[in-house]
Amino acid sequence: MSLSVAIIGAGASGFYTAKALFDQGVDCTVDMIEKFPSPYGLIRYGIAPDHPYTDGVIKSFEKVAANERFEFFGNVSVGRDISLLELRALYDVVVLAIGAPADSKPSLINDRVEGIYGAAEFVGWYTGHPEFRDLFSAIGTKGVAVIGNGNVALDIARILGRTRAELSKTDMPGYAVDMIASSRLKNIYVLGRRGPLDAKFSGPTLRELLGLEKCEPVVDAEVLPDELPDDLSPQALRTAKRNLKIFSSFTDPTNDLNKRQIHFCFNAIPMEILGKDKVEGIRIQQGVVDRGQARGLGTYRDIRCGMVIAAVGYRVIPLEGVPICANRGMVLNEDGIVADNLMVVGWAKRGPTGLIGSNRADGEHAARQIAKNYTSGEMPGRERFKYHLSARGVRWVSNEDWKTINAAEIAGAPADAPRRKFISVEEMLSAASADRNEEAQELEAVG
Ligand SMILES: Cc1cc2nc3c(=O)[nH]c(=O)nc-3n(C[C@H](O)[C@H](O)[C@H](O)COP(=O)(O)OP(=O)(O)OC[C@H]3O[C@@H](n4cnc5c(N)ncnc54)[C@H](O)[C@@H]3O)c2cc1C
């Protein structure tokens, strides 16, 4: 009998695992279980809407989903609709591809006041993630501080600097376009605990800031070192040289009052949120990098802002019975093995780093391990799983349903935009059902 494989999570790592199982000719069926009606995880709800370069990867995942041995079960949340223990009793192998969707937040004095968000929440808000639609009702501030010196912080700063015309060409939901474009926002502060040489920004994403219509990046020339340390590896040296060159091009802003500005604040250690009920500012301590660690110098500066977004990392949301390595935000595993018939891939396996393509090797490795460790299928698998869902009244979304939802989103796109995303789960389900009802009516009419 074929192996029955359940993959929990329809993000990049889940799809790369399914693809590798099929490509390697493993005799198996694959059921992909996803808590949202839509597949693709952070590709849909993470990657910045103004970076729509994922068509190729989505096409290859669509091919995986079209394989006759594959079935998609969207709108099924493991832990809510079925437990992990139950799944492990139904399938020969269960693969956790659940990502690391929760925010790690820095611990700051007075960080309970209103107006502090994590990157997962804020990015979820501007990408139309069903859980973050109502995160806030306005960006009523001239200043936003973004904590973090990686590409996610840069995505957030850039998106906040974009104009209505720029954002309207993307699939960003209308509410987010309106709020960003019509806000009185002037200053976006990107705070890094370390210096410019330590920033993890990628070159092209940094350079892109020079092309924004009504926003300019700003760096104080005095913070840029004249000389590079001599202990850098050749690759670190190349990156440092490239980033320094780009930062140098940010040192002569026009200061045009019609433009927003993205200020890079280096050696700025966030200490305390200012404000009684709402954020009114952030206090930072001036620091230096000492043996690779940021160390405070005891001098402080306050930055006025009404919103703080912490882009300092992500962590896995634990599922019952799954061991977690809390300080790395990932599932405890040995080379991808968590327990008997339980494996893990992607961000949940490695922690929250790496691009979409970084998950491919994980999927391929997991497929080889599955082929090696499990030879023939013994568990009841798909039909029994469907029986469980039906008995519990779970309305799952099939791949055909998703295609209907996808087509409706594309058909509903405003001029210039690639799609209009449905924001709520209910909207997605009713788009899928509308098509089902139409089909039923047509059959009746024919009958
Ligand atoms: C803000 C941001 C921007 C990024 N931009 C880029 C970029 O421009 N280019 C690039 O290459 N990479 C980018 N990345 C990285 C890329 O998104 C990740 O490498 C990749 O998405 C990780 O894939 P994954 O499958 O491990 O996790 P995810 O993509 O998070 O997928 C996990 C899936 O599991 C589902 N799930 C979780 N729990 C359950 C459950 N209990 N039951 C059912 N389903 C569940 C989730 O809903 C989700 O669909 C970005 C990441 C972030 C955070």
Regions of the chain with pLDDT less than 70: 435-447
The DSSP output letter for 198 is G
Using a 6 Å cutoff on CB, does residue 8 contact ligand 1? Answer: yes
pLDDT reported for residue 390: 96
Q: How far apart are CA 264 and CA 374, in angstroms?
A: 52
In this structure, the residue with its CA closest to atom 6 of ligand 1 is 47
In this prediction, residue 55 carries a pLDDT of 86
pLDDT of residue 439: 58
What is the reported pLDDT for 319? 94
Ligand 1 centroid from CA 97, angstroms? 9
- How many other β-carbons are positioned within 10 Å of the β-carbon of residue 233? 8
What pLDDT is attached to residue 443? Answer: 52
pLDDT at residue 231, rounded to an integer: 83
Query: What is the rounded distance in angstroms from the CA atom of residue 326 to the CA atom of residue 124?
Result: 23
Tell me if 120 CB under 6 Å of ligand 1: no
* Residue whose CB lies within 8 A of the most ligand 1 atoms, among 76, 98, 201, 316, for a mutation test: 98
Q: Which residue, 143, 156, 183, is CA-closest to 275?
A: 143
C-beta of 159 in contact with ligand 1 (< 6 A): no
Give the burial string for 179-198 (b: 16+ CB within 10 Å, else e). Answer: bbbebebebbbbbbbbbbbb
| Tens digits of residue pLDDT in 399-411 | 999 999 999 999 9
Domains and CATH numbers, the chain: 3-100+319-397 (3.40.50.720), 105-312 (3.50.50.60)
- pLDDT, residue 227, reads 87
Whose alpha carbon is nearest atom 8 of ligand 1? Answer: 47
What is d(CA 123, CA 135) in angstroms, rounded to the nearest whole number?
11
Instruction: Check if 36 has its Cβ closer than 6 Å to any atom of ligand 1.
Output: yes
pLDDT at 435: 63
CB of 318 closer than 6 angstroms to any ligand 1 atom:
no
pTM here is 0.95
Question: Does the beta carbon of 42 sit less than 6 angstroms from any atom of ligand 1?
Answer: yes
- pLDDT the model gives residue 438: 60
